[in-house]
């Protein structure tokens, strides 16, 4: 994860230093999980929330490269039976880059489509509580993702974006009471972001 963050920050710094028309921004996101994470036995399709940073590097002709970092968290507190409660959390830190194409011919103006890829690190946490016992199940894993979507810049500073992200964590090890189990965890999501650039 340290390598992911260092690489993404270096990419952002290089882009900022070398490209004219580079603009810094941030995004606030809501995310609806599907797959294993969205199941009723886990997050029950409850919305996740996230924040992030990005740079828009204008390539000219309506094209732009957008390196980005995002942090998203899903949580679900539920009751199992009469006496057991589960507090489940999934925290995802991701870094990658998108390509934007603006139909207006100018970056940060009007409608655009996007496609991108990156790397995400997921931290899985669950706490099971009963009157007699508390158990914690924790695990973490990294995976590559791809995403595609569309957006609209209302002005050069404000816009909205909708993305579908395909993310699958393979061989996630979860430990409970010293015992480790392994499973694949699918985590596709539909995300909507408010985007602001300076």
- What are the tens digits of pLDDT across the range 136-194? 888 899 999 999 999 999 999 999 999 999 999 999 988 777 788 898 999 999 999 99
* Phi and psi angles of residue 146, each rounded to the nearest 5 degrees, phi first: -125, 155
| CATH number (domain holding residue 145) | 2.40.160.20
Q: Which of 137, 188, 191 is nearest to 160 (CA)?
A: 191
Contact 165, 145 (CB under 8 A): yes
Residue 42: domain span:
2-197
Distance in angstroms between the alpha carbons of the first and the last residue of the chain? 28
**What is the rounded distance in angstroms from the CA atom of residue 91 to the CA atom of residue 40?**
18
Chain centroid to CA 159: 18
pLDDT digits (tens, 9 = 90+) for 88-136: 999 999 999 999 999 999 999 999 999 999 999 999 998 888 888 888 8
CA 166/CA 33 separation, integer angstroms: 10
**Count of the separate structural domains present in the chain:** 1
Residue 179: the pLDDT is 81
């Amino acid at each position: 994860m340290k390598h992911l963050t260092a690489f993404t920050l270096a990419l952002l710094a290089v882009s900022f230093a070398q490209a004219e028309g580079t603009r810094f921004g941030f995004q606030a996101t809501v995310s609806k999980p599907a797959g294993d994470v969205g199941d009723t036995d886990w997050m029950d399709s409850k919305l996740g929330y996230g924040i992030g940073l990005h740079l828009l590097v204008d390539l000219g002709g309506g094209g732009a490269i957008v390196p980005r970092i995002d942090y998203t968290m899903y949580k679900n507190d539920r009751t199992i039976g009469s006496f057991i409660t589960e507090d489940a959390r999934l925290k995802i830190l991701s870094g990658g880059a998108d390509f934007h194409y603006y139909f207006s011919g100018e970056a940060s103006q009007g409608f655009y489509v996007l496609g991108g890829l990156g790397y995400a690190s997921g931290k899985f946490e669950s706490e099971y509580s009963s009157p007699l016992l508390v158990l914690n199940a924790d695990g973490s894993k990294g995976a590559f993702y791809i995403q595609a979507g569309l957006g609209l810049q209302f002005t050069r500073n404000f816009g909205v974006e909708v993305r579908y992200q395909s993310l699958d964590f393979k061989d996630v090890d979860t430990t409970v009471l010293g015992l480790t189990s392994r499973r694949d965890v699918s985590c596709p999501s539909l995300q909507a972001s408010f985007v602001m650039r300076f």
